[in-house]
Each structure stands twice: as structure tokens, then as C-alpha cells.
Amino acid sequence: MFLRGSIVALITPMDAEGAVDDAALQRLIELHVDAGTAAIVAVGTTGESATLDEAEHCAVIARCVELAAGRIPIIGGTGANATAEAIRLTRCAERAGADAALLVTPYYNKPTQAGLVAHHRAVADAVAIPQILYNVPGRTACDMLPETAAELARVDNIVAIKDATGDLARVERLRDLCGAEFALYSGDDGTACEFMLRGGDGVISVTSNVAPALMRQMCEAALAGNREDAFALNERLDGLHRALFAESNPIPVKWAMAEMGLAQRGIRLPLTWLTPEHHATVRAAMQRAGAV
């Protein structure tokens, strides 16, 4: 199995002008090493991949690899809606020494299932690094069907899928079609506990930014099949699972990280800072999870 447990979809910390904050990035890497997080996704959706240019994108992945220094796996978010761009970004991740790449289904242009197969095969053929499929139709307007994932699972260096549909019926279907060695990760914090109890291998998590140790503990219990303990731990996290999506991700999680003193109040347009009406809700969820 490739990786199991709580994988954080890391924010890209920024200053008030939107420049990447290297000091905060160092703090966040250390936070996850100390918390026992299974791996870090650098520059995924939560890392504002849509507003970093290619040079910045590659630089942040490389910096995460450098800061991790082999202590925690780094997965580079390298998806794009143009296949050539996805290949360039995945090559950057490979050159930087990333352990794997996470590739979102091409967004906006709405490819067919055949187009998805051709896209991901092209990236896998061009770059040898292990690759994780990422299906999040709520953002991309493109749903990779389980049968398509199964076809791609036969490609040697396509090793896993992050499924953010929240459709728990897909876990068994994906496992049956893709086989026991193909890793299945939830991309939906709210259903991740049950996803793992049904046979999934972990979660690529927004919540783990704020409560990394508690998320690790919940994942460990769920992966061990300990339903009672997993539910008890997840109950403490459930408010965060919901509150961190009060506005578009990563708006609430970046506000939470600033409240914790781990990052500055930096985000890039067209995203804006969390509106005051949601502050109390997010803060209460943080308190429930022991984050503040």
C-alpha cells in the first residue's frame, strides 16, 4: 500500500500582500512532522494552486521537500486542465524530489471519460513519479467514474485516487474495481471516518491543518476498524469538518491558521478573507477540537 492515514492538504501561507511566507511554511512542516501526519500535499486546492504561477508552484513544492528533509512524504499537487501544463508541473515535482504527485481531473473544459484516461495516461507516460488521481466534481464539473479509475489503476505509476464526492457507496465499488493495492483516499473530511471504516486507506484533509494530531488519531482508529473510538474522535472534529467550508476552501482554514498564530492574514484574489459572520462558528469548532 502506498500511504495510509491522515494526509494534510496544506495551505500555502502568505503575507498580507499575497507573497508566500517561508517562515510560516517552515512552522507548518514542523507542525505536521511533530503531529505524526502521514504525508503533506503541497500546492493542492487548499494550497491555492489556481493562483500560483508555474514558477511559484514548483518553488513551493521544492521548498516543502527541502524543509521536510525526508521526515515526512511530500506529494506535489500538479494537476491542470491542460495536459501539457500538468506534465510540466509533475516534472517539477519529480525534479524537486517529491514522493508523489496529486493530479486533479481537468477542470472547466469537461473532458469525456476517454479524455480523462488519455490525459492521465499521458502524464503517467511522461513522468515516472507515483501519481494519485483526484476526483472532485463539485469544483471541476467533471466526474471520474469508478470504471475510469479502474482503467487507470492498471497503469504502473498511478497508485491511488482521492475521491471527494462524499459518496460512500463508491468506496466498495472502487475497491472491487481497482484492487486491494490501489490506495483509496477520501477527499471529504465530513465522510472520511466512515470512508475508512468501509475500507478506504486514509484522507487528504483540510481539517488536518487545524487539528493534525486529532485527525491522525481518528484515522488510526478507523483504519484499525475501531468504530467506537473512531466515532468518538470524529465527533470532536465534526464541527471543523463543517465550519472549514462555511466559505470556499481555503478561506476558513486560512483564517483559522491565522487565529492559531501559525500564519499571517494572507490570501490571493479572487478569494477574500473570511467574513465576520462566520468567525464565531469557526472559532467554536476549533475550541471543540482543542485547536485553541
Tell me which of 108, 110, 134, 185 is the catalytic residue.
Answer: 134
Q: What is the pLDDT of residue 150?
A: 98
Whether 159 contacts 130, CB under 8 Å: yes
Residue recorded with cell 477527499 = 187
Q: Is the pLDDT of residue 127 over 80?
A: yes
Per this entry, what is the length of the chain?
Answer: 292
Q: What is the pLDDT of residue 177?
A: 98
Return the C-alpha cell found at 57: 508552484
Kindly indicate the confidence band of residue 217, based on its pLDDT and cuts at 50, 70 and 90: very high
Question: What percentage of the chain carries pLDDT values higher than 70?
Answer: 100
Q: What is the pLDDT of residue 1?
A: 55
Q: What mean pLDDT do residues 131-151 have?
A: 97
Question: What percentage of the chain carries pLDDT values higher than 90?
Answer: 99
The average confidence (pLDDT) of the chain is 97
290: closest CA among 235, 221, 248, 222?
A: 235
248: closest CA among 156, 152, 136?
A: 136
Q: What mean pLDDT do residues 44-71 have?
A: 97
* 162 labelled catalytic: yes
DSSP E strand stretches across 105-209: 131-135, 158-163, 183-186, 202-205
Cα 267 to chain centroid, rounded: 18
pLDDT in tens, 13-38: 999 999 999 999 999 999 999 999 99
Q: What is the pLDDT of residue 2?
A: 75
SS3 145: coil
pTM over 0.85: yes
Q: What mean pLDDT do residues 62-90 have?
A: 98
SS3 234: helix
187: closest CA among 133, 141, 236, 238?
A: 133
Q: What mean pLDDT do residues 219-227 have?
A: 98
Q: What mean pLDDT do residues 263-282 have?
A: 98
262 CB contacts (<8 Å, ≥6 apart)? 13, 24, 27, 28, 31
